[in-house]
Amino acid sequence: MRSFCLTVFLCSVALAEPEGTLLSRPNPLAAPAGQRMWKASLLSLAGATALDAASSWGKCEGNSLIAGGGGRFDSRSLSLKSAAIGGLMAFEHFSGKKHPQLYRLFSATNFAVSGGLSAYAVRNFGIAAPSPGYSCR
């Protein structure tokens, strides 16, 4: 009960504090402008990549650079696609740390790529997987 009363007292003191003191000080560790949107765009990009991979699994892959055995999308394809997206995210992270004004550009790019990947995923869900003996090459 004492700890509850102490907590209530401290909260009321903090909220009753005059303007321009503790609560209104800028946080030196606050995120730069655009960084929250960039983080949301990373979630969107990761989700769209996962959706595209799920829709492509076992089907003929049009991109010969990531096509696995027999020209299909398989675990090798998923590894390469994930590495490419992870590399893009790492590049954006380190570039954004050095140049925070780039976060908004990165956000727009990530949302655009997410839209494209999602469109491909919708298309891929409409394509039937080939029979097991069929070679896609």
51-107: pLDDT as tens digits: 999 999 999 998 889 998 888 999 999 999 999 999 999 999 999 999 999 999 999
d(CA 78, CA 52) in angstroms, rounded, equals 10
- For residue 9, tell me if it sits in a domain: no
**Residue 121: band (very low, low, confident or very high) from pLDDT cuts 50, 70, 90:** very high
Q: Across the strands, what pairs with 60?
A: 72
- For residue 89, tell me if it sits in a domain: yes
d(CA 56, CA 131) in angstroms, rounded, equals 14
pTM of the model: 0.74
- For residue 16, tell me if it sits in a domain: no
* 8 A C-beta contact, residue 61 and residue 70: no
- For residue 15, tell me if it sits in a domain: no
Residue for token pair 């949301």: 40
- For residue 135, tell me if it sits in a domain: no
d(CA 105, CA 32) in angstroms, rounded, equals 14
Domain span at 96? 32-125
